[in-house]
Structure 1
Amino acid sequence: MLSELIEYHWAENIDDVLLLLGRLDVKTVPLAGGTYLLGLQDDSIEAVVDLRDLELASISEDARGIHIGAMTTLQQMVDEPLLRDFATGLLARSAYASSSSRLIRNSATIGGTIATGGASQADLLTALVALEAEVVVRSGSKSQIDLSGGTYDRPGLALSGVVYKGKQERRIPCQEVAIERRPAELIVEVIVPRPALSSGTSLMRVSRTAADVALLNAAALVEIEDKVYRKVRLALGGASMEPVRLYGVEQLLEGQPIMNPLNSQRLLTTLQEGMTMFRPPADVRASSSYRRVSGMGLAYRALEEAMNVASWRGMVSSERGG
């Protein structure tokens, strides 16, 4: 519990939240679903800002892709019709896999999951990294300018050091939030680019039981164009570890002609070459060597499924076009 908590704020607009988070004398953190924060042992936190009244729980789409408000719960993502078809359902599946408890999914939010990072133990993080999602963060800003004294026709009083308060917004790749996001920045939205029609995705996980957190998970996205792998994205994550992109594997596959499903050795050779630098962390659940060895097989299965789905969708779309 937060034993040193002295302030509880129920915010009604984002400006109030940014004002409170920007204070230097009182350590203040946002309270979203509370599934992680309320059980945290952190005596340095003195104030929380409840975000439930902010209008940040929405899912919409446009030409660029899907926009998910930071206060959208994981269960809302599971139930949302837009996400069942988007990226062949990867977001909905990973949100469901992130917790076996519907009670948790009804409280945990996508913004809180991203802010918590590896400690959230959510499969959703790995899926967002594979889909190259961007996180929109907002912070309060102050601009200092010097006002001139005006002209003969329009006289004015010269003032120096006038401070204007405003808002500053920027986008951060999902995989870089842990190191790029500043303490006073509030996550307001997640933007997921729309994959091509001829694309396939996959989510694979290894856990002690079906209801347990993933010791290791893998998310893959494959786009095929003219019988060539135009785009390949592969990410591995798991309990107590930040998701990592396997750039080496991606680069070896992109631009290559599609593989024969029966030729498994070619894909295995590519993974062996591209995963030489994969060094996952260890924790009480699994050693680094276990995750490194298991990661090869998990990545293979994830890529194989994504490739097969992409090939099938490519054939269906070409038949409809013809």
Structure 2
Amino acid sequence: MIKQFLRPESLDEALALKTKYGDDAVYMAGGARLNASPTRTEHEIVINLSGIDLEGCEKTARGWEIGALTTLQTVVDHVALPEGLREAAALVYSRNVRNQCTLGGEIAAALPACLIVPALLAMDARVELADGNVMSVAKYQKQCEGLITKVIVPAEVYACFNQNVSKSAADLPIVNASFAIQRDKDGNESYGIAVSGSSIPFARIPAEDSILAFLTNDISRQQLEERIAETVSCETDFRGSADYKREVSGVLVASMVEEYRLQANKVQASKVQAGKVKGQ
């Protein structure tokens, strides 16, 4: 039960309050997770961050830098942001919830069924903390320490795909998967996959070799599905068996990779056709 609700007016004041109260206090942004069941906080002291300017989206040399208190609805509405990130934020079914949830808060909550974190993991996004330290979202999720001030989506992100399976739009995802492509200035590509779900913890799956093999037609889609399924760790619950969730994970990821291959082939075909027309 919350007994003290503190409202710092600056980042320094918020950090000082956390130092003062230590583990007895918790930071709160929109309160969508900490102030609602089943994730309601047991801390008695809350340090509310709403009075601190940690919002906004800016394109820099590092990529897209997004303030930790930027709401998911703002991400959805910001047309210049990577489309895959906007799509992932939109997977949260309720606009009211999207207006309350913040990007930094979703990362800090570390919920296994979060809908936007897999996209951030797949894109190899980073967080900047109040002390200036910068680390990957994956590393932060392992320690969940420090106040997030920014989320940084790398400039090399070329595309991101998202798919999930759930019993309804309002239900927790049985499996939620994201596939991202990074492309450097020389055109070299790298790939990231992340999967989460009702009993599947956040995970960035090491499957780049399998993806490349599929994109170059060295393995079949069925083989890609099987390889992805082998890397996913999950448990049986009332939503489905562990075997079912692994199989679904493989199908979702393979579907996204295949979609990207089809798009890439179309782009290449268009370039070839344009070159023929130009040469005539």
Alpha-carbon separation, structure 2, partners of 1:23 and 1:11: 13
Work out whether residues 204 and 219 of structure 1, in 8 Å CA contact, stay in contact via their aligned partners in 2: yes
3-state SS in 1 of match to 2:52:
coil
3-state SS in 2 of match to 1:81:
coil
Corresponding position of 1:281: 235
Alpha-carbon separation, structure 1, partners of 2:183 and 2:134: 28
Work out whether residues 217 and 238 of structure 1, in 8 Å CA contact, stay in contact via their aligned partners in 2: yes
Say if 2:87 is the partner of 1:93.
yes
- Give unpaired runs (5+ residues) of structure 2: none
Q: 1:135 to 1:281 in 2, by over 3 A?
A: farther
Which of 139, 157, 174 is residue 137 of structure 2 equivalent to?
A: 174
Which of 13, 18, 26 is residue 10 of structure 2 equivalent to?
A: 13
Question: Could you say which structure has the greater relative contact order, defined with CA pairs below 8 angstroms and 6 or more residues apart?
Answer: 1
Alpha-carbon separation, structure 2, partners of 1:177 and 1:218: 19
Equivalences for residues 3-152 of structure 1 within 5 A: 3=1, 5-24=2-21, 27-39=24-36, 40-43=39-42, 45-83=43-81, 86=82, 89-97=83-91, 99-119=92-112, 121-138=113-130
Alpha-carbon separation, structure 1, partners of 2:20 and 2:188: 49
Alpha-carbon separation, structure 1, partners of 2:254 and 2:170: 23
3-state SS in 2 of match to 1:23:
helix
Corresponding position of 1:217: 176
Cα offset, 1:53, TM superposition: 1.4
Cα offset, 1:229, TM superposition: 7.5
Corresponding position of 2:247: 293
Corresponding position of 2:260: 306
Q: Deviations over 1:2-47 (max 9, x none)?
A: x2x221111111001111112356611111010111124544x121
Alpha-carbon separation, structure 1, partners of 2:85 and 2:260: 14
Work out whether residues 224 and 314 of structure 1, in 8 Å CA contact, stay in contact via their aligned partners in 2: no
Using the size of structure 1 for normalisation, the TM-score is 0.75
Corresponding position of 1:253: 211
Work out whether residues 179 and 256 of structure 2, in 8 Å CA contact, stay in contact via their aligned partners in 1: yes
The RMSD of aligned alpha carbons is: 2.8
Q: Deviations over 1:74-133 (max 9, x none)?
A: 0000001212xx2xx100000000x211110011000110011125x3321110000000
3-state SS in 2 of match to 1:55:
coil
Alpha-carbon separation, structure 2, partners of 1:203 and 1:257: 19
Q: Deviations over 1:288-318 (max 9, x none)?
A: 2221121111111121112333444556678
Q: 1:113 to 1:9 in 2, by over 3 A?
A: same
3-state SS in 2 of match to 1:295:
helix
Alpha-carbon separation, structure 2, partners of 1:306 and 1:110: 26
The share of aligned pairs that are identical, in percent, is: 26
Alpha-carbon separation, structure 2, partners of 1:319 and 1:57: 45
3-state SS in 2 of match to 1:234:
strand
3-state SS in 2 of match to 1:201:
strand
Letter in 2 for 1:177: Y
Work out whether residues 7 and 47 of structure 1, in 8 Å CA contact, stay in contact via their aligned partners in 2: yes
Q: Deviations over 1:129-150 (max 9, x none)?
A: 0000001122xxxxxxxxxxxx
Alpha-carbon separation, structure 2, partners of 1:317 and 1:47: 59
Alpha-carbon separation, structure 1, partners of 2:48 and 2:58: 24
Q: Deviations over 1:210-235 (max 9, x none)?
A: 4433210111123579xx97312111
Letter in 2 for 1:28: A
Structure with larger Rg: 1
3-state SS in 2 of match to 1:285:
coil
Q: 1:195 to 1:28 in 2, by over 3 A?
A: same
